Amino acid sequence: MKRVITMVAMAALIVGCGSELRKRNNNEEQTQGAEQKVEQKVEQKVEQKVEQKVEQKVEQKVEQKAVLPKVYMTTDISPEGLKSVYDALGVPAHGKVAVKISTGEPGGKNYLKPELIGLLVQSVDGTIVECNTAYRGRRFSSEEHLKAAREHGFFEIADVDIMDTEGEIKIPVQDTTHLKYNLVGKNIENYDYMINLAHFKGHAMGGFGGVLKNQSIGVASRNGKAYIHSVGITENPDEMWGHVDDQIGFLESMAAAAQSVHEYFGEGNIVYINVMNNMSIDCDCDAHPADPLLKDVGILASTDPVALDQACLDIVFNITPEEGNDNGPLLERIKDRHGTHIVDYAESIGLGSKKYELVSID
pLDDT, tens digit (0-9, with 9 covering 90-100), for 29-56? 555 655 566 456 646 665 666 566 545 6
| Residue type for position 358 | L
Report the 10 Å Cβ neighbour count for 135.
16
13-27, 59-73, 247-261: range with lowest mean pLDDT: 13-27
Q: Do 243 and 333 lie in a common domain? A: yes
Where among 67, 97, 121 does a domain terminate? Answer: 67
Q: Do 178 and 320 lie in a common domain? A: yes
- Ordered alpha helix ranges (H), 243-327: 247-265, 305-317
- pLDDT, mean of residues 323-331: 97
Q: Do 45 and 120 lie in a common domain? A: no
pLDDT of residue 66: 59
- Does residue 149 form part of some domain? yes
- State in Å, rounded, how far the first CA of the chain is from the last one: 118
Give percent of the chain above pLDDT 70: 82
pLDDT of residue 58: 43
Using DSSP bridges, classify how beta strands 207-209 and 168-171 pair: parallel, antiparallel or unpaired.
Answer: unpaired
pLDDT greater than 60 at residue 132 = yes
Q: Do 42 and 89 lie in a common domain? A: no
pLDDT of residue 8: 40
pLDDT of residue 45: 61
Q: Do 118 and 37 lie in a common domain? A: no
CA distance 128 to 148: 13
Domains held by the chain: number = 2
CA distance 298 to 335: 23
- pLDDT, mean of residues 182-211: 98
Using DSSP bridges, classify how beta strands 193-199 and 270-276 pair: parallel, antiparallel or unpaired.
Answer: parallel
| Residue type for position 270 | I
pLDDT of residue 56: 61
Q: Do 310 and 227 lie in a common domain? A: yes
Q: Do 90 and 219 lie in a common domain? A: yes
- Ordered alpha helix ranges (H), 67-166: 79-88, 114-123, 142-151
Q: Do 168 and 220 lie in a common domain? A: yes
- Does residue 6 form part of some domain? no
pLDDT greater than 70 at residue 26 = no
Supply the mean pLDDT for the chain.
89
Q: Do 257 and 321 lie in a common domain? A: yes
pLDDT greater than 90 at residue 258 = yes
Helix (H) or strand (E) holding 275: strand 270-276
pLDDT greater than 80 at residue 318 = yes
- Does residue 12 form part of some domain? no
Closest CA to 99 of 120, 78, 126, 132: 126
- Does residue 14 form part of some domain? no
pLDDT greater than 50 at residue 198 = yes
User: What is the band of 1 on the pLDDT scale with cuts at 50, 70, 90?
Assistant: very low
Closest CA to 359 of 75, 70, 82: 70
Cβ burial 237-271 (10 Å sphere, 16+ → b, else e): beebeebeebbebbbbbbbbbbbbbbbbbeeebbb
How many residues does the structure list for the chain? 362
Domain boundaries, position 58: 28-67
CA distance 258 to 253: 9
- pLDDT, mean of residues 283-311: 97
pLDDT greater than 60 at residue 17 = no
pLDDT greater than 90 at residue 87 = yes
| Residue type for position 16 | G
